[in-house]
Amino acid sequence: MPYFYFFIVSLGKSKVKIFMNLKLVLFILAALLAADIAIYPQDRDKPREGEGVYAFLRRNNRNEKHFDEFIRLNKNKLGRGNSLLQGFYYTLPPLETDSSAVKSSEKPEKNSGQKSEKRTSREPLFGPKYEEYEIVDDALKGACFFLVSGHGGPDSGAIALVDGHSLHEDEYAYDIVLRLARNLLQHGATVHILIQDKKDGIRDGLYLDNSKRETCMGKEIPLNQKKRLEQRADKINSLSSKAKEKYKRAIFIHLDSRSKKQQLDVFFYHQSKDSNLIESKNLAETMRKTFASHYDKHQPGRGFSGTVSSRSLLVLKNTKPVSIFVELANMQNKADQRRYILENNRQALANWLTTGFIKDFNSSK
């Protein structure tokens, strides 16, 4: 090290002098080594089994805002779909950046001597690990959302057999809806989660257990398909009539089931009724463009073939607020399975949907 060379030269030629100054040398070297550690921190960690990027970041006191920097720092140690590999140490993004420090020094806030308190709230449906969340900003203040995960209760929806596990559509749609709901709440929105399971919160890991506990906000879900869909539309309309917010949006989240060979990108259906046609189509187009831009960023050259179209679905016809229907993947296709099985990909889907809603909300003002 340069430090050792500097001190050996500066001590002079006398061995006696070196001996007499040994304690001083050791003290200064220790101080410099400590300074090295402080200046060049090594903040790294190994992922736990089944842990995705977002879970790994949250466990290390980071959040989705650190995702892009984490990918940049560790791009040579990631698996397919930005998955984490066992046995590797991953570098964590710094909690504070130089740019944020400069901004705070250039534009001091009022009462800078006092610590600003975090705005936090709780939603038990998210489960013990995620029920507490921080309200990071008011980007969606004045917006009201109605979130519906497909199927549930007596109807599991599509089923895929993966690595000996029976995976049900309603479980994965529900997990993504909870992640989306948490994101929207963090931006100050009002959120109604229509399909609920009091036991299953946001779940990490690959294989989500199946159950028939889901209700429509506490009411039993009918087995009859038409009654089941009418129940959801009626509940949204009832909640919407009482909501004070001018901006109201509903989203129905599903996963499709087609031939194993058919790989699908996320695609969107919009309402066709005159009162909501333009706004519903605009929302669907905004979502499609948002997903396309993220694919261009994270998987350059891949392209995005997701579509937007109108479809005469009962929930879209009967729901009064502006609504869209989303199919996130083909559950039977191996490539698509990574999109919903990997926890960090489920979080990414929720994040991109959140971005789309924020864009749509801002354009509606």
Q: Answer yes or no: is pLDDT of 17 > 80.
A: no
User: Could you give the residue ranges of the DSSP H alpha helices within the chain?
Assistant: 2-10, 15-20, 22-39, 53-59, 67-73, 98-106, 169-186, 225-242, 277-298, 314-318, 334-341, 343-364
Residue 63 or residue 353, greater confidence: 353
Q: Answer yes or no: is pLDDT of 268 > 70.
A: yes
* Mean predicted confidence (pLDDT) in 303-331: 96
> Which residue's entry shows tokens 């109201």?
248
Identity of residue 278 = I
Residue 100 or residue 55, greater confidence: 55
pLDDT cut 70: percent of the chain above it: 82
Would you state the pLDDT for residue 287? 97
**pTM as predicted:** 0.72
> Which residue's entry shows tokens 């609920």?
196
Would you state the pLDDT for residue 115? 53
Would you state the pLDDT for residue 96? 54
Would you state the pLDDT for residue 19? 46
Would you state the pLDDT for residue 76? 85
Q: Answer yes or no: is pLDDT of 37 > 50.
A: no
pLDDT cut 90: percent of the chain above it: 65
DSSP 190-221: EEEE-EE-SS--S--SS-PPP-S--EETTEEP
Q: Residue 77: which of 39, 44, 41 has the closest Cα?
A: 44
Residue 57 or residue 154, greater confidence: 154
Greatest Cα pair distance, the chain, in angstroms, is 96
Would you state the pLDDT for residue 188? 97
Could you report the per-residue pLDDT of 283-300, keeping only the tens digit for each? 999 999 999 999 888 888
Helix or strand or coil: residue 290? helix
| Domain range summary for the chain, segments of one domain joined by + | 2-39, 44-106, 120-364
Residue 86 or residue 165, greater confidence: 165
Q: Answer yes or no: is pLDDT of 321 > 80.
A: yes
Lowest pLDDT segment from 81-85, 91-95, 170-174: 81-85
Would you state the pLDDT for residue 309? 97
Q: Answer yes or no: is pLDDT of 276 > 90.
A: yes
Q: Are 295 and 303 in contact (CB under 8 A)?
A: yes
Query: What CATH code would you report for 120-364?
Result: 3.40.630.40
CB count in 10 Å sphere of residue 168? 23
Element (H, E) at 160: strand 159-162
Q: Answer yes or no: is pLDDT of 271 > 80.
A: yes
* Mean predicted confidence (pLDDT) in 16-33: 50
